[in-house]
Structure 1
Amino acid sequence: MALPMTLGPLRPSPLVEQAAAHLREQIADGQWPVGTKLPGETTLAKELGVGRSTVREAIRALAGAGLVRARQGAGVFVIATEPDEDWTARLRRASVADVYEIRMMIEVRAAELAAVRRTAGDLADLDAALAARNAAVASAPDEELVDSDIALHRTAVRAAHNPLLTDLFDQFVPVLREGLLDLVRLIDVRTADADHGREAHGALVDAIRDRDPAAAGAVIAAELDRTVARLGAGS
């Protein structure tokens, strides 16, 4: 009996990629400024030496990159000269100040919601995460210290029971981890702060336990402000 055929992922043809790259270069070079209508498929196919179907797919790729847009009955128009960056790329080049402004919005609100919505299971997870962070403060390697800190913050965000908030926080984790590792490498944080956030993080967990949203939000805001100040001092 013949085995079922396994189909691999479809890949754009080299001709489509080459055609899209050529058109992208012409747009970037100003041959077609923003607002300009591209030549028709037949004209482009002749200029590029490819078929109309290849041109059609290349234009679709440019549209996906945010460079062109088709207008029904009017044609395809240039709407940008640089392709859209994905969220991960934008985060990687964002400044620490920009990242922490957004982190503040996410975590302060999440802490307030967690204080209202937390369950007994959430409290058990928070206590475990806090204990792991406190243990890491003493003598763990820098990576373990940073990871335990992020894990506690994520546990608090998750206790808000809003999956979108958790997803947003997770998007920031790689950038946060890199910034915090830079901080502990540039500054001897264990010496600079003997408590190293034990009291503040304990107060956060206590506020969530006590169902005190105002206190939970205030604690996390103050803690993030302190981290921003240290990052600025180490830059």
Structure 2
Amino acid sequence: MPLVTTTRTGLVDQVIAQMRELVSSGEWPLGRRIPPEAELVTALGVGRNTVREAVRALAHAGLLEVRQGDGTFVRATSELSGAVRRLCDSELRRVLEVRRALEVESARLAATARTDEDIRELETILGIRDSAVHEQRDREQAVAQDTRFHMRLVDASHNPVLIELYQGLSEAVLSSVASTLDPEASPEQHISHTELLEAVRDGNPERAAAEAGGFLEELLSRIGEDTGT
């Protein structure tokens, strides 16, 4: 999405809106540096102060992160996600507790609301995830596909409010998956999601909820063991 020259009214709000859209659409990817100030000034046809004010506003909202001497980076894809990241930074246990609350109910709903397409896509994603985990060849792929599986399972609940809440947690989910997926573990030590998918496919909401809560409880117990709590 190209930047376009703004009109002279509400300049800061217009710049904020354009930058927010570039972030949420993925045009400015998560974790990447955005164009430098001089380039933004030229592309938008506004002054440096306008650009700086817009950047400050988006940084305050949690979407951008200004690193002195290094530039400005995309920190989150929405205000909700930015707020979650501020609350959850370095708090893996808190993220897992929130995931447990949302994913248990999502699994319960998905067991009765899922479509054939939902199941096919979940099976495909889980197959790719398990292949990457078991062959220990691509940790980045394993993390990405594990995260994708959980996101897609929540989508299968077909509850728009629950889906929106979970999407706001997406970066924290990815970070928690990366933190709990041990590249040195044997394939047998990795948590399986096969039983969870089977419960959803079989239309068994109670078993699906139990499976979703069970693996997160296991992760929480591992953290407790690591910290001695």
TM (norm. structure 1) is: 0.58
Counterpart Cα distance in 1 of 2:128 and 2:107: 19
Matches within 5 A, 1:121-200: 121-137=117-133, 138-184=135-181, 187-188=182-183, 190-191=185-186, 194-198=188-192
Q: Matched residue of 1:7: which SS?
A: coil
Identity across the alignment (%): 30
Deviates more, 1:224-233 or 1:166-175: 224-233
Q: Which sections of structure 2, spanning at least 5 residues, go unmatched? A: 14-56, 62-78
CA distance in 2, matches of 1:183, 1:100: 10
Instruction: Quote the RMSD (CA, aligned, Å).
Output: 2.7
Give the match for residue 103 of structure 1: 99
Aligned partner letter, 1:131? G
Shift >3 Å, 4+ stretches: 231-235
Are 1:92 and 1:175, in contact at CA under 8 Å, matched by a contact in 2? Answer: no
Q: What code does the residue aligned with 2:185 have?
A: R
After superposition, the Cα gap between the structure-2 partners of 1:212 and 1:140, relative to the gap in structure 1 and judged at 3 Å, is: same
| SS, match of residue 120 in structure 2 | helix
Q: SS of the counterpart of 2:12?
A: coil
C-alpha contact (below 8 Å) 2:108/2:205 kept by paired residues:
yes
1:217 counterpart (203, 209, 215): 209
Q: What is the rounded CA distance, in whole Å, between the counterparts of 1:101 and 1:178 in structure 2? A: 14
Partner residue, 2:6: 7
Change (3 A) 1:91 1:121: same
Structure 1: 5+ residue stretches without partners: 13-60, 66-85
1:63-91 Cα offsets, whole Å, 9 max, x none, are xx9xxxxxxxxxxxxxxxxxxxx641443
Partner of 2:196: 204
Query: In structure 2, do the counterparts of structure 1 residues 232 and 140 end up closer, same or farther at CA, with 3 Å as the change threshold?
Result: farther
Residue 178 of structure 1 deviates from its aligned partner by 1.9
Q: What number of residue pairs does the alignment pair up?
A: 156
Instruction: Select the structure of larger CA radius of gyration.
Output: 1
